Homo-oligomer: A and B are copies of this chain.
Amino acid sequence: MINIGLLGCGRIGQVHARAISRLDNAHLIAVADAFPQAADALAAQTGAAVRSSDAIIASDDVDAVIIGTPTDTHFDLIRAAAAAGKAIFCEKPVDMSADRIRDCMKAVDDAGVAFFTAFNRRFDPNFANIQTRIAAGEIGDVEIVTILSRDPSPPPISYIESSGGIFRDMMIHDFDMARFLLQEEPVQVFAVGSALVDPAIGAAGDVDTAAVMLTTASGKICQISNSRRASYGYDQRIEVHGSKGMLRAENKLENTVEMATEAGFQRAPAMHFFLERYELAYSAEIAHFVAALEAGTAPLPGIADGLQAQLLADAASTSLETGAPVLL
């Protein structure tokens, strides 16, 4: 049984709390949030105690902490939790600065605690199935990875302004997915982007339509494209072309119904809301973290994976600014 303290009772914290309640080998001991009402509400639902973040990190009855607080608080919480010997489950991104992630990595390594970077998409059953079958050799050597990722609609400009930019905020997931599927580190990043969805995004210094090309030392290629808007739902597709075949994951639609009329055959839109679309992934990532702690193995992706994805996002940002490919 792993006893868990939850730091951050917002939308994602609530998802994790529900996922823990479905596990037989984990227990939610305590919750913390800067807004007392948020912590109180989640405590009422789950039976967990309300404590401060500091108190949770200091608690003897807590084995592991989940860090679901705003990104700019991660740095201090990670270092404190590592110093206290707690296993750490940290929402992505670990930090906006690669250097600070390196500092966290050192603290985690020095303390010898387990660290999990919550790239939840690795745990989507469809994407996980693809990775498993690649690893089993079902399509031979990976040659071209194509990732298409589109949000239903853009976030508010206030969010954009503090997001770190599309590569660090949105494509970071795709960078991790690329590494997961290529199974080899990208050595070159080339990025393009424009503000086609909303000029206000461009005015805020960001882009809303972006594409990246990654290459690895052995010549594997990955193409990623992002848009902040898709009328037809949350578009999340990956495709891997290998020497012996091809694997692809199509979108999850709202239902399996097809209607035929004069206009043709119509199926439902893609699921719109990311918490629903990735519901199974959120459950599976907590289950993996807890199982790893019980088994004494390292949960994956770890903090080094968090760093690598951030370095790719940084490189893409640089490439967009300079117009030139960036070597890693």
State the A residues within 8 Å of B (CB). Answer: 125-126, 129-130, 133, 138-139, 141, 143-144, 146, 148, 150, 188, 190, 192-197, 209-211, 213, 215, 218-221, 223, 225, 227, 229-233, 235, 239, 241, 243-270, 323-325
Question: Which B residues lie within 8 Å of A221 (CB)?
Answer: 192-194, 209-211, 225
Q: List 24 A-B contacts (CB under 8 A).
A: A126-B257, A129-B255, A133-B259, A139-B259, A141-B196, A148-B239, A190-B325, A192-B215, A194-B220, A194-B221, A197-B243, A225-B241, A231-B245, A232-B245, A232-B262, A245-B259, A250-B257, A250-B258, A254-B264, A260-B269, A263-B269, A265-B269, A266-B267, A325-B325
Question: Which B residues lie within 8 Å of A143 (CB)?
Answer: 196-197, 209, 227
Known: A150-B241, A196-B219, A241-B227. A144 touches B211 (CB 8 A): yes
Give Cα A247 to B190, complex, Å.
Answer: 26
Give Cα A246 to B260, complex, Å.
Answer: 5
Known: A219-B209, A324-B324. A244 touches B261 (CB 8 A): yes
Give Cα A250 to B325, complex, Å.
Answer: 32
Question: Which B residues lie within 8 Å of A245 (CB)?
Answer: 231-232, 259-262
Question: Which B residues lie within 8 Å of A223 (CB)?
Answer: 146, 211, 213, 223, 225
